Amino acid sequence: MIRFHKEGYKIIFIALIVSIGGILLLEKLIETPWLVKFIQILIIGFLIIILQFFRNPKREAPLDDNALVAPVDGKVVVIEEVEEPEYFKGKRLQVSIFMSPINVHVTRYAMSGIVKYSKYHPGKYLVAWHPKASTENERTTVVIHNNSFGDVLYRQIAGALAKRIVNYAKEGDNIIQGTDAGFIKFGSRVDLFLPLGTKLNVSLGDKVKGGIQVIAQK
């Protein structure tokens, strides 16, 4: 059975009403049968896109403190040592995962632990793969601590199409690996900032699955 994320319920309901109303009205407003069928197919296609965007497949995380899972579905577009200026103010290993509009957009906790920091930043809507997107776009920054990895920061970043980031992490929360951490609506990316020397299980260009695929280990 297909599951949908709660952040999509309102949009899905509106899309269903509009789609059904449009399909029924077309036959009364347009007399050309082939044109009616063509527009109806476009409406159904639009509805399918909305439904697939908000799908929320059930995932079983490994629940391993020594493993870090991908927080989202998508493609690994950055692996590099960088300066992280907001929280660590020092060198970290950055791993960035880009989500296209066809990917599942649920954000999941990459590891179990305690939320030490959670902050929302308004900003621009540069394309998600832009080098400055991590520091200039609308974004949320969350830091989780566990005994194996120490502090790990992840950042939800809005893209050119994303107009709303949903973040459930609150400081002091005890969170469980693989559970729902939020949602980013329409095209975006997530950056992870890991301790230097972290052993990665992914390479540039790899496609990953959020909540289940181990991308780093201690």
Least confident of 27-31, 82-86, 129-133, 139-143: 129-133
**Quick one: which of 122, 210, 120, 126 has its CA closest to 161?**
126
Rounded mean pLDDT of the chain? 90
pTM: 0.85
Class of domain 67-217: mainly beta
* Position with higher pLDDT, 135 vs 213: 213
Does the annotation mark 203 as catalytic? no
Residues 44-100: tens digit of each pLDDT: 999 998 898 889 999 999 999 999 999 999 999 999 999 999 999 999 999 999 988
If you average pLDDT over residues 174-186, what whole number do you get? 90
Catalytic residue among 134, 148, 188, 203: 188
Residues 41-54: tens digit of each pLDDT: 999 999 998 898 88
